[in-house]
Structures are given as C-alpha cells and as structure tokens.
C-alpha cells in the first residue's frame, strides 16, 4: 500500500503529461470493505461497511469544448466521449464506463455537466471486491459537482453513482458500495438502512481496543461473478413476491420459519434464510459496537460467513480456506466481504497477532496449492473528499 500523497502525485503527473497545464483540483474517494451485511442492500436491508485508507484520486479541470477526456493508469491513452456517447448507456465501455456513467446519471437527473479533462490514479486494487468501481464513480462525481458548481448535496451522490453502475454500466448492484465510499467516516463503520438511506456512524475504534481488521485478498480467479450475483438478486426478488412483501427486509426474524414454510423449493428457502438472518446479524453487530464490545462481534462475522457459504452459496475454496485458517490462528471472527465468488476476506484480530494470522493464511494457501493471498491491515477511513 502506498500513501495518499503518492497516488495524488501520480494523478497530477498523469494530468500534466496527457493534457499539459495544471489540474483545477484533485478529488479522492476510497475503496471499502463491508464489516457485515452481505447481499442485504438490494433487499432493502441493513449493511455495515467502512471506507478504506486505499484511495482513487482524480486530477481534473473543466474543458470548454463540452466533451470529456479521461486518462487512467490502467491505459496508455485517454478515452474521449461527448454528450452523444454519454447519453446512450453502453457506448463507452471498460473502466471509462464508470466515468461516462456518472456523466450520464448527472445529465439524466437534469444537471448541466461541464466538459472536463480527468486523470485517474488508484491504490484500490481492481477486481478484488474492494469497490474500485465505486471509488472511481465517487471521485469523478465529486470533481464534476464542484467543477460545474452543481447544486447536489453529498447525501444524494450514492443514488446517482448507483444509477451510473446499474443503468449505464449494466451491473445490478445495490447502494452499499457507493454509500460507503461517499459517506464513510474515519474511525467509524457506516450503519445504513438501504430502504430509507438513513445512516448512523458507529464508532469502530480498533486501534484503541488493540485490534485490527486484516483484509485478505483471496486472489481467487473470477468465476462468473456477474451472472451469479444477478441470479441471487432475481431469486430474492422472486421470493419476496411469493411471500407478498415489498422486499425480504420485511420478513421479521421471528416470522422466518413461517415464511420458509410457505416457499416450495429448498434453494429459495436457503437464499431467504441468509438474507433475513444476515439483517439480524447486522443489527446485533451494531448493538455490540454501540456498547463498545468490539471483540464480541467475532462470532457474528463467522456466522455470516457460514450463511454465505451454505445458504447463499457465494463463497469459493480459496475464500473458505482463508476464513478457516484465520479462525484456526485465533482470529475473533472472519468472513468473506463483498459480492462473492472471490474477492476478499476480513478477519478481526488482535493488532499484535495480525502478522501471525496473515502467515497462517499464507501457509494454508501453500498447502492447498493456491496462488499466495495478499494481506493488509486496515482502519476505517474517510469518504469522498476534495484534496486541494
Ligand atoms: C457488491 C454490490 F455492489 C453491493 O451492492 C452489494 O450487493 C454486495 O456486492 C453484496 O453485499 O459489492
């Protein structure tokens, strides 16, 4: 991991090299992990993510020609597009689609978006399930709102960024990632009600408790994650319809058994059980954190993992191996974080045991013949912001 200064310097250097001159400013947005509450966001439920100290930085300036030019470290040449491409979802693809999607969402909401030149650098790894796409969306949104002097309070940014992802890029995600990277606060986890968008900043001061969150990048190869995610979402929507509720969030924990009895296939029953019990685990985690009992959330994290593995069926062998090895090395709890089928695991550990847990996971991987995992200890960081 490199410092925020380095990534900002890379964005500025990219801007100077591609466009000449100085950017008008630099805007940053982080990646995220989700402490608990997986696949609950699109079921109108509860999530508890936090923003990471890894950031994406956009160096940008307005352009008079009313067009957008975007360069990223991921590519040699900038991608250029105008209103015609921005107004037609799908016309811009690859990583630049997240930028075009933001322009599209702003325009669709009636805003006059200034043309701009943008240079993007990032420390958020792509494809690791740490929301590199939401980080791009949020940083670009922050830049365009300010460059254009748009009247758009930050509370409304997550929904717009989600629309960019859903309707321009075509990924049917919920609102968790965009909320985490926009509304996250240093030292806190973001308790979000995905139906009302009400948030509560929950103190999560790992350092003061002598604890750390170890993030383990499973490095598992991509396994049809997009199609499986969409299938899970469909299955939840069908179940809600069958149960006569607006969303699975409306099935109370106490009514779960009765609801399951009304469903006629086992797979759907297990999907529903995951979502309903996961919502409850989020609420229980929040209660413990409000009481300052951070260590005690460990079993809830581990139970969440079991539910994702057995009921929602979104884990893979590398992920399960990382969780089991972390627990065997005395993590308080461990679970996959994010959409699934690869990505990252998080483990709650004593700060002075983080290296030993990371070593144990690496050794378990070697035993199984898996590509070595990446590991990183993190603390909750702040959300999207202007740097200077
Ligand atoms: C992905 C999606 F983008 C989120 O909206 C959420 O559904 C998550 O998977 C699963 O909890 O990160």
Select from 44, 166, 339 the residue to mutate for testing ligand 1; criterion: most ligand atoms less than 8 Å from CB.
339
In the reported structure, the alpha carbon of residue 135 is separated from the centroid of ligand 1 by a whole-number distance in angstroms of 14
CA 81-84-90 angle, to 5 degrees, is: 75
Residue 338 near ligand 1, beta carbon < 6 Å: yes
Instruction: Assess whether 177 carries a catalytic annotation.
Output: yes
Residue 174 near ligand 1, beta carbon < 6 Å: yes
CA-proximal residue: ligand 1, atom 3 (nearest) = 173
Q: What is the mean predicted confidence (pLDDT) over 329-347?
A: 97
Task: Grade residue 4 by pLDDT with cuts at 50, 70 and 90.
Answer: low
Kindly tell me if the per-residue pLDDT of 166 is higher than 90: yes
Average pLDDT, the chain: 97
CA-proximal residue: ligand 1, atom 8 (nearest) = 339
| Percent of the residues in the chain that have a pLDDT greater than 70, as a whole number | 99
Supply the pLDDT for residue 2: 44
In the reported structure, the alpha carbon of residue 36 is separated from the centroid of ligand 1 by a whole-number distance in angstroms of 11
Q: What is the mean predicted confidence (pLDDT) over 24-28?
A: 98
In tens, the pLDDT along 260-277 reads 999 999 999 999 999 999
Residue 340 near ligand 1, beta carbon < 6 Å: no
The reply to whether the predicted model has a pTM over 0.85 is yes
Q: Residue 252 and residue 237: Cα distance in Å, rounded?
A: 16
Q: Residue 84 and residue 25: Cα distance in Å, rounded?
A: 27
Helix residue spans in 164-213 (DSSP H): 176-183
Backbone region of residue 233 per phi and psi (left: phi > 0; alpha: psi in -120 to 50; beta: other values): alpha
- Closest C-alpha to 217, from 378, 73, 59: 378
Residue 374 CA, chain-centre distance (Å), reads: 18
- Closest C-alpha to 138, from 170, 201, 181, 95: 181
Residue 176 near ligand 1, beta carbon < 6 Å: yes
């Amino acid at each position: 991991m490199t410092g925020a200064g380095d990534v900002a310097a890379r964005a500025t250097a990219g801007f100077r090299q591609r466009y000449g001159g100085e950017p008008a400013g630099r805007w940053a947005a982080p990646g995220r992990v989700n402490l608990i509450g997986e696949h609950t966001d699109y079921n109108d439920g509860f999530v508890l993510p936090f923003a990471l100290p890894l950031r994406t930085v956009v160096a940008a300036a307005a352009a008079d020609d009313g067009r957008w030019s975007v360069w990223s470290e991921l590519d040699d040449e900038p991608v250029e597009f105008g209103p015609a491409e921005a107004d037609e979802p799908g016309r811009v693809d690859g990583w630049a689609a997240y930028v075009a999607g933001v322009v599209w969402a702003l325009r669709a909401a009636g805003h006059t978006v200034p043309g701009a030149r943008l240079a993007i650098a990032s420390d958020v790894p792509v494809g690791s399930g740490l929301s590199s796409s939401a980080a791009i969306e949020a940083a670009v949104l922050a830049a365009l709102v300010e460059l254009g002097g748009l009247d758009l309070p930050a509370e409304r940014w997550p929904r717009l960024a989600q629309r960019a992802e859903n309707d321009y890029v075509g990924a049917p995600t919920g609102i968790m990632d965009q909320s985490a990277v926009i509304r996250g606060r240093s030292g806190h986890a973001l308790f979000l009600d995905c139906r009302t968008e009400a948030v509560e900043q929950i103190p999560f001061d790992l350092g003061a408790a002598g604890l750390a969150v170890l993030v383990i990048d499973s490095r598992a190869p991509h396994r049809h994650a997009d199609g499986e995610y969409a299938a899970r979402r469909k299955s939840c929507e069908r179940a809600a319809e069958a149960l006569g509720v607006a969303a699975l969030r409306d099935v109370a924990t106490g009514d779960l058994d009765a609801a399951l009895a009304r469903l006629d296939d086992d797979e759907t029953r297990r999907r529903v059980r995951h979502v309903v019990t996961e919502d409850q685990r989020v609420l229980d985690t929040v209660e413990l954190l409000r009481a300052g009992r951070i260590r005690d959330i460990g079993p809830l994290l581990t139970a969440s993992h079991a539910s994702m593995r057995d009921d929602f069926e979104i884990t893979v062998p590398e992920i399960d191996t990382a969780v089991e090895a972390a627990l065997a090395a005395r993590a308080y709890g461990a679970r996959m974080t994010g959409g699934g089928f690869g990505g990252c695991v998080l483990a709650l550990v004593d700060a002075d045991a983080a290296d030993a847990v990371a070593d144990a996971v690496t050794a378990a991987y070697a035993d199984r013949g898996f590509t070595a995992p990446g590991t990183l200890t993190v603390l909750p960081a702040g959300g999207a912001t202007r740097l200077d």
